[in-house]
Amino acid sequence: MEAKEIFKIAESNKWYRQASNAKAYYLFAPSRGAIDSLGAPYGFWCIRDGIYFEFFCPEKYYFNRAKWALEQEKKDINWIDEKIKKCEVGMKNLNFFYKKHSAAHIAALGLDDVCKAIRDFEEIVFSFWKEIYVGDWFDPNGEQLLNKEIKKSKIDFDTYEVSVLLKTKKMHYAQKERLEFLKIALSIKNNKHSLSSDWVKNALTKHSEKYFYINNSWESTKVLTSADFMARLEEVLSLDLDEIVLQIKELKTNWESIHEDIYKKYRIKKELKNVFYLFRSVSYLRDVRKGFTLLSNHYFDLLYSRLAKLLSVPFEKLAITLPLDLVDNVSKKRLEGIAKERSRFMVEAYSKKKIKIFCGKVVNEIYSSFHKSFSGETDTIKGCTASPGKVKGVVRVVMGETHFGKFNDGEILVAPMTRPEYLPLMKKALAIITDEGGITSHAAIVARELKKPCIIGTKVATKVLRDGDLVEVNTNHNIIRILKK
């Protein structure tokens, strides 16, 4: 695919955009899996300044796949269950790779073996994302499709009932970790064990071995130790006993029994039940995927750290390299040359399983051609309401972890999307605005739980808004109005 062809494609499509601070070797394989999952003929993504990632796919493929999936599920509740089984194959393959490639095993690999392990791992990650990306099909149009089904049923649900019908009793990795951690805190609060006891030390050691990866992101990884969890435990112990008990109770809530009560109240028909089951299931899959992503990024970093050591290349320089670079003539000189060439700007074009990398001056032209569909000066930004409310406040744009330190209490959080590591900021935020996401996205779910006004799927918030802008978030009309720049 040549640049001229890309310019024509860019002009003839309406684009769905995703963005984040990220490493190239974390996200390029998942992006290819996403395009194949959607059945799109092409997709494009780029890295600017070695860290800022953007993904572009024709938006119509999201709507088409979501609408098709909804029709399948309305006819057969087992449709999404069969999809989950395919996802579980990928989970099994990932777990097998994790088990085989311990830190000690990776540290003993030679150059050829570590390059092969990276390429093999990328293929496993790609296959996993090709199946599990089903949750993202609903990001641009999920709320619209769900509301249409609710309207057809002529049932007047309140906001709480809809949010409850989107909850599942299945717990993902973050909820399991939180529950186990709260139980440790509860045992101390109930005076069964002291903070300095051997029991607590052993419990935190086991906890850190099991959940060492939970603070990882698309940007970086860190192995959490028992000392890290001890610091967190001291914070949790500042909560009242009743609050800890309440949080445990909420995590253990049997949402299915509450679903049944709502179904009986409105005499909901099978077809609508299936629709809600679909949305609950894809939401659960997204959270499961996050856990595997955080772990996978850990193993990618272990493998690339070994590669960096073998070639005497600074680890940071490899963030912009890809597994496809590790086939022939893998050397310090070659990888440092690739890193230098791509450090300012690179674009990958993916079509019919073929990959082409662009660097140099043409990349700015390619990038600009996609952003034409997101341009335009405006005092209002439109999105979808994920959690109700109307507030005025100051904007803080947070693209990734490197920006976390600038966020202040009571500001309006603006991000490409949120992930578990954003939770402390979301708790401090007056409101939440994202470029991406649907009603089952992380931002939507957390905002509803925190009861914070939230507008998702704006596409352009991080491009239009700037730190310090005064805005009004009005979820009644799904808009953000800029009051003062």
Give pLDDT tens digits for 220-253: 999 999 999 999 999 899 999 999 999 999 899 9
Burial 74-108 (b: 16+ CB within 10 A, else e): beebebbeebbeebeebbebbeebeeebeeeebee
Residue 371: predicted pLDDT:
80
Mean local confidence (pLDDT), 191-216 = 94
Domain that holds residue 427: 376-484
**On the CB side of 376, how many CA atoms lie within 13 Å of its CA?**
9
Cβ count near 155 (within 10 Å): 16
pLDDT band at 278 (very low <50, low <70, confident <90, very high): very high
Q: Do residues 198 and 238 share a domain?
A: yes
Indicate the angle between helix axes 442-450 and 270-311, nearest 10 degrees: 110
Mean local confidence (pLDDT), 367-388 = 79
- pLDDT of 437 strictly over 80: no
38 within 8 A of 2, measured Cβ to Cβ? no
* Residues written for the chain: 485
- pLDDT of 361 strictly over 80: yes
Amino acid letter for position 365: E
Residue 182: predicted pLDDT:
95
Q: Do residues 443 and 352 share a domain?
A: no
Whether 151 is in a domain gets the answer: no
- pLDDT of 262 strictly over 70: yes
Per the prediction, the chain carries an average pLDDT of 92
The CA distances from residue 257 to 159, 166, 271, 465, in Å, are 18, 13, 19, 43
CATH number for position 405: 3.50.30.10
Whether 13 is in a domain gets the answer: yes
CA 344 to chain centre: 25
69 within 8 A of 362, measured Cβ to Cβ? no
Whether 149 is in a domain gets the answer: no
Tokens of 469: 């802008």
Give pLDDT tens digits for 329-343: 899 999 999 999 999
pLDDT band at 460 (very low <50, low <70, confident <90, very high): confident
- Tell which of 324, 359, 375 closes a domain: 375
Q: Do residues 371 and 405 share a domain?
A: no
Q: How many separate domains does the chain show?
A: 3
Strand 43-48 relative to strand 52-58, pairing: antiparallel
- Tell which of 201, 216, 251 closes a domain: 251
Whether 105 is in a domain gets the answer: no
Give pLDDT tens digits for 29-41: 999 999 999 999 9
Whether 77 is in a domain gets the answer: no
Q: Do residues 382 and 415 share a domain?
A: yes
Give pLDDT tens digits for 10-32: 999 988 888 888 999 999 999 99
> In sequence order, what DSSP letters do the residues of 288-337 get, joined into one string?
HHHHHHHHHHHHHHHHHHHHHHHHT--GGGGGG--GGGSSSS--HHHHHH
Q: Do residues 423 and 327 share a domain?
A: no
214 within 8 A of 172, measured Cβ to Cβ? no
- Tell which of 324, 355, 375 closes a domain: 375
Mean local confidence (pLDDT), 368-383 = 76
Q: Do residues 445 and 473 share a domain?
A: yes
Q: Do residues 479 and 380 share a domain?
A: yes
Whether 424 is in a domain gets the answer: yes
Q: Do residues 388 and 455 share a domain?
A: yes
Q: Do residues 325 and 403 share a domain?
A: no
Residue 374: predicted pLDDT:
66
pLDDT band at 378 (very low <50, low <70, confident <90, very high): low
- pLDDT of 375 strictly over 70: no
- pLDDT of 114 strictly over 70: yes
Q: Do residues 353 and 429 share a domain?
A: no
Whether 298 is in a domain gets the answer: no
Whether 371 is in a domain gets the answer: yes
Q: Do residues 381 and 396 share a domain?
A: yes
Q: Do residues 384 and 479 share a domain?
A: yes
- pLDDT of 376 strictly over 60: no
